[in-house]
Homo-oligomer: A and B are copies of this chain.
Amino acid sequence: MSKIAADLKDHLDGEFPLVGATSTRSTVTIGDVVIGERDFVVIAGPCAVETRDQIETTARWIRQHGARILRGGAFKPRTSPYSFQGLGEEGVELLRRASLKAGVPFVTEVLAPSDIELLAPRVDAFQVGTRNMHNFALLDALGRQDKPVVLKRGFGATLREWILAAEHVARGGNDRIVLCERGIRSFGEETRFVLDLGGALWVRERTRLPVIVDPSHATGTPSLVGPLCRAALAAGLDGVMIEVHPDPSTALSDGDQALEFGAFAELMEQLGPIATAVGRGLG
């Protein structure tokens, strides 16, 4: 390591002592899937678990077409108390069965510290949603257990604040953290949020953690999801998390941004040659 690089490293270590950049990058294993190594990992599934059939069909489809991890919301953090709030524990059970049957691990969001003990033995990984990135009680509690944590960036959070949220988790003893950029608030009205791909890359330079992006929530526009997944792969990030639904038009939550099965299969086919071109695999 050159003198300049060493100095830089020291400085960064000072700012982010537990998750800051080190000479080797970390990997995080969810189920049997390693994130942060050679493979570009696709996490896919519906915004919310709705029925047994919906989640099992989806799990099977995404697995057949190359996704490695299932996603699905059971406890939903809804801006309005009058929107669908998710199936809760029953939803987690549906996810677990679908995951086992399809042979893919799954990640699901947790909203409250008090739910962690119940859920930890039943999930493969926890997700902290964008609205809870600064929920320090939740971050601290997730640091005191050992299931991996997918930590989404707050849509109003700076890059340093996002890394410091990871420090909160790591300080409790759990550094199995995957960072996920999911779009930030901006003045535009044409897309739901703005995917900060440059910010995701900046964070990957300054931490040892894997970094993925979620273009579904970022754009709210299915036609932009595929191109942005290809972009994330070519740019050198570690994976993507996207929404896939058997029938987006009937989805109870965020259906307008989910990919249909056909579009998902097509995207996976596009990723293959790019992965080869940049020396990555898809698993």
The interface stretch among A26-34, A47-55, A96-104, A149-157 is: A149-157
Contacting residues of chain A (4-27) with chain B, CB-CB under 8 angstroms: 17
Decide if A195 is an interface residue (CB 8 Å cutoff): yes
Is the beta-carbon distance between B228 and A278 smaller than 8 angstroms?
A: no
Decide if A80 is an interface residue (CB 8 Å cutoff): yes
> How many Å from the CB of A155 to the closest CB on chain B?
6
The interface stretch among A56-64, A66-74, A108-116 is: A108-116
Mark each residue of chain A from 134 to 177: 1 if its CB lies under 8 Å from any CB of chain B, else 0.
11111000000000000000111111110010011001000000
Cα A175 to Cα B273 in complex, Å, equals 35
Chain B neighbourhood of A137, CB < 8 A: 111-114, 138
Given known contacts A156-B187, A198-B215, A277-B273, is B136 in contact with A134 (CB within 8 Å)? no
Decide if A207 is an interface residue (CB 8 Å cutoff): no
A85 — nearest CB in chain B belongs to which residue?
B136
Identify A188's interface contact among B158, B218, B277, CB under 8 A: B158
Chain B neighbourhood of A167, CB < 8 A: 80-82
Cα A164 to Cα B161 in complex, Å, equals 25
Chain B neighbourhood of A277, CB < 8 A: 273-274, 276-277
Given known contacts A113-B112, A154-B156, A195-B198, is B228 in contact with A80 (CB within 8 Å)? no
Given known contacts A137-B111, A227-B201, A227-B235, is B184 in contact with A159 (CB within 8 Å)? no
Cα A37 to Cα B215 in complex, Å, equals 26
What are 5 inter-chain pairs, A to B, with CB distance below 8 A?
A135-B138, A186-B186, A198-B218, A230-B234, A270-B278
Residues of A whose CB lies within 8 Å of any CB of B are 17, 77-82, 111-114, 131-132, 134-138, 154-161, 164, 167-168, 171, 184-191, 194-199, 201-202, 205, 215, 218-219, 221, 223-224, 227-228, 230-236, 270, 273-274, 276-278
